[in-house]
Amino acid sequence: MLPLSLRAKSVLALLLACLLALVPTVLAGWVVVDKVRNHLGEALARNLTALNVQKVTAPVAVEIAGARQLAGSASIREWLADEDDDARRAQVFAEAAGFRGEPAHKLWFLVSDRSLRYYLRNAGDPAAGRHAYTLDRDDPKNSWYFGLTATKAPYVINVDIDRVLKRRMVWTNVVVRSDGGPAEAVIGSGLDLDAFLSTFIHKDQEGVLPMVVNARGALQAHPDPRWIAYNSALQETAGEKNILSLLSPADAEPMRGALRAAAAAPQDAHLLRVTYEGRRRLMAVQHIPELKWFMVTLVDVNTASLLGRDWAVPLAAVMALMLALLLLGFAYATDRLVLRPLRRLEQSAQAIAAGDFDTPLDVARRDEIGALSQAFSRMRGQIRHHTQELEGKVLARTQALAQANDEMAQARRQIDRSIEYASLIQRAILPDRRMAALPDLHYAILWKPRDRVGGDFYVFHAAEGGYLIGMFDCAGHGVPGALMTMLARAEIEHAVGRLGHRDPAALLAEIDVRMRGLLSEDIAQSLATTMDAGLVWVDTARRSLRFAGAKIALYTSDGREVREFTGGSRPLGHKRAGAYGNTDVVVDAGWTCYLSTDGFLDQAGGEQGFGFGRQRFVAMLRTHAGLPLDRQTEAFLAAFDDYRSGRDQRDDIALLSFRPFA
Confidence (pLDDT) at 6: 62
For the beta carbon of residue 345, count every other beta carbon within 10 angstroms: 17
pLDDT level of residue 651 (50, 70, 90 thresholds): very high
| Mean pLDDT confidence for 127-156 | 80
Residue 327 belongs to a domain: no
Contact 583, 548 (CB under 8 A): yes
What CATH number is attached to the domain comprising 76?
Answer: 3.30.450.220
| Mean pLDDT confidence for 198-203 | 70
* Cα–Cα distance measured from residue 223 to residue 225, given in angstroms and rounded to the nearest whole number: 6
| Mean pLDDT confidence for 561-587 | 92
Residue 138 belongs to a domain: yes
Residue 153 belongs to a domain: yes
What CATH number is attached to the domain comprising 515?
Answer: 3.60.40.10
**Is a pLDDT exceeding 60 seen at residue 7?**
yes
How many angstroms separate the Cα of 535 from the Cα of each of 372, 424, 434, 457, 528?
Answer: 86, 25, 17, 12, 22
Of the spans 145-154, 285-294, 368-377, which averages the highest pLDDT? Answer: 285-294
The answer to which of 87-91, 305-309, 425-429 has the lowest mean pLDDT is: 305-309
The answer to which of 135-144, 443-452, 546-555 has the lowest mean pLDDT is: 135-144
Looking at per-residue pLDDT, the higher value among 642 and 45 belongs to: 642
* Cα–Cα distance measured from residue 447 to residue 530, given in angstroms and rounded to the nearest whole number: 20
Contact 529, 519 (CB under 8 A): yes
Parent domain of 178: 13-239
Residue 331 belongs to a domain: no
Contact 159, 193 (CB under 8 A): yes
The answer to which of 355-364, 487-496, 589-598 has the lowest mean pLDDT is: 355-364
Residue 365 belongs to a domain: no
For the beta carbon of residue 504, count every other beta carbon within 10 angstroms: 27
Tens-place pLDDT, residues 240-256: 788 888 899 899 899 99
For the beta carbon of residue 454, count every other beta carbon within 10 angstroms: 29
Confidence (pLDDT) at 104: 42
Residue 1 belongs to a domain: no
Rounded percentage of the chain residues whose pLDDT exceeds 70: 88
Is residue 251 packed enough to be buried (19+ CB in 10 Å), middle (13-18) or exposed (0-12)? Answer: buried
Residue 47 belongs to a domain: yes
Confidence (pLDDT) at 101: 47
Tens-place pLDDT, residues 268-315: 899 999 998 888 899 999 999 888 889 999 988 877 655 555 555 676
| Of the residues 209, 239, 269, the one at which a domain ends | 239
pLDDT level of residue 533 (50, 70, 90 thresholds): very high
> What stretches of 2-129 adopt beta strand conformation (E)?
107-112, 117-122
DSSP 586: -
pLDDT level of residue 163 (50, 70, 90 thresholds): low
Q: How would DSSP label each residue in 39-65?
A: HHHHHHHHHHHHHHHHHHHHHHHHHHH
Confidence (pLDDT) at 553: 96
Looking at per-residue pLDDT, the higher value among 627 and 233 belongs to: 627
Confidence (pLDDT) at 377: 75
Confidence (pLDDT) at 220: 84
* Cα–Cα distance measured from residue 244 to residue 49, given in angstroms and rounded to the nearest whole number: 19
| Mean pLDDT confidence for 612-635 | 95
The answer to which of 148-152, 396-400, 603-607 has the lowest mean pLDDT is: 148-152
Rounded percentage of the chain residues whose pLDDT exceeds 90: 30
| Of the residues 239, 262, 289, the one at which a domain ends | 239
Residue 616 belongs to a domain: yes
What is the distance between the terminal CA atoms of the chain, rounded to a whole angstrom?
77
* Cα–Cα distance measured from residue 38 to residue 489, given in angstroms and rounded to the nearest whole number: 112
Helices (H), 430-467: 432-437
Confidence (pLDDT) at 33: 63
Number of domains comprising the chain? 2
| Of the residues 205, 239, 273, the one at which a domain ends | 239
Confidence (pLDDT) at 508: 96
Of the spans 43-57, 171-185, 225-239, 535-549, which averages the highest pLDDT? Answer: 535-549
Bridge partners of 536, per DSSP, are 469, 547
